Amino acid sequence: MSILIKKAGILTTVQDLGRNGFRRFGINQNGAMDKIAVRLINSLLANDENTAVLEMHYPAAEILFEERAIFALGGADFSAELNGKALENWRMHYAEKGSTLKFKDKIFGNRAYLAVKNGFKIEKWLGSASTNLKAGIGGFQGRKLQNGDRLPFHQITNRKPQIANFKVSHLLIPFYSKFPTVRVVEGAEFELLTAISRENFLNRNFTITPNSDRMGFRLRGEPLQLLHEKELVSSAVNFGTIQFLPDGQMIVLMADHQTSGGYPRIANVIPTDLPLLAQLGANDKFAFHLIKIEEAENLLMRFEKDLNFLKIAAKFI
């Protein structure tokens, strides 16, 4: 009733949509870097969208299905193969008992997700199956997966499972790109940037430095300047908050960010564009585009409505 992790890959963790309600205690949200990918493949499988999945980086895991399973992959394209046969992302797949799932090449993106129908059996901590690597708790024993780990999952019941031959609509899949434009809304200290810096922020490209991880992406680009120095007392920050560092560079806070911070907050990446950023890696470039809150909310509302159609469709399979 399990999958066996034959090779763990470089950083494979159990994640869901994150742990809410405990940020006031310094317990950060964690959860998947690309939450939309997780919501899509879970919904495709008619799972609750918050069902635990595996998040993999490249080199990814090699996985043996010790029991038959229905599963789906999404996010990055690591050229997945089941018993040597190529698999497409955003589709339902069926694995016979004894099948092996491998990832052969890094085609696009940096974080791939594996969801199994009915979900992995993961004991939740504070309402979430996400792994908190810093505290060493949550997910699978509070750590990244290792060779030989066994993750049990809830079995599928049908003798002959129906594998629907449909794919998540391209309207729902984020517009992933190797050089994306990432939309942001203004942060509290946006106006504190000099006019030239504001211009640079919106028109220049920024590069993700190798010193980036699930906590945050450190950027390199034309250094920005503030109109005047501002010391801030610490306050809560968010997934996607873009902080201004003393050297004029920026950091974008990602899924494992600390709950609070004291750097000026220039802008925040909108939730529907966080996946574009989450799929980038070291030395990738991107640009920012500033939009109004209303527009950003409408993008999210449209996504929620479209996702609901997928959920309804998936239930009829």
Residue numbers at the binding site for another protein (CB under 8 A):
20-28, 125-126, 132, 134-137, 185-188, 231-241, 258-260, 265, 268-271, 293-294, 296-297, 300-301, 304
Smallest distance, Å, CB 258 to another protein? 6
Smallest distance, Å, CB 85 to another protein? 38
Smallest distance, Å, CB 215 to another protein? 11
- The half-sphere exposure of 257 on its side-chain side, counting CA atoms within 13 A, is 21
Is omega for the bond preceding 59 within 30 degrees of 0, making it cis? yes
CA torsion sign, 19 to 15 to 252 to 75?
Answer: negative
Smallest distance, Å, CB 212 to another protein? 18
Q: Which is nearer to another protein, 26 or 223 (CB)?
A: 26
Measured CA to CA, the distance from residue 85 to residue 186 in angstroms comes to 46
Q: Which long-range contacts (CB under 8 A, 24 or more apart) does 159-166 make?
A: 161/68, 161/70, 161/94, 162/317, 163/70, 163/92, 163/93, 163/94, 164/92, 164/314, 164/317, 166/91, 166/92, 166/313
Q: Which is nearer to another protein, 214 or 265 (CB)?
A: 265
Measured CA to CA, the distance from residue 56 to residue 265 in angstroms comes to 30
Q: Which is nearer to another protein, 74 or 261 (CB)?
A: 261
Q: Which is nearer to another protein, 14 or 69 (CB)?
A: 14
Q: Which is nearer to another protein, 35 or 111 (CB)?
A: 35
Smallest distance, Å, CB 56 to another protein? 25
Q: Which is nearer to another protein, 114 or 310 (CB)?
A: 310
Q: Which is nearer to another protein, 27 or 80 (CB)?
A: 27
DSSP 240-257: TEEEEPTTS-EEEE-TT-
Helix residue spans in the chain (DSSP H): 35-44, 195-203, 274-278, 293-315
**Per-residue 3-state assignment (H helix, E strand, C coil) for 113-124:** EEEECCCECCCC
Helix axes 293-315, 35-44, angle to 10 degrees: 20
Smallest distance, Å, CB 311 to another protein? 13
Task: Answer for the pair 81, 112: CB distance below 8 angstroms, yes or no.
Answer: no
**Nearest-5° angle of CA 219, CA 265, CA 194?**
80
Q: Which is nearer to another protein, 107 or 301 (CB)?
A: 301
**Cα 16 to Cα 32, 37, 146, distances in angstroms:** 6, 11, 19
Measured CA to CA, the distance from residue 70 to residue 118 in angstroms comes to 9
Smallest distance, Å, CB 109 to another protein? 23
Q: Which is nearer to another protein, 75 or 240 (CB)?
A: 240
Smallest distance, Å, CB 181 to another protein? 17
Smallest distance, Å, CB 117 to another protein? 25
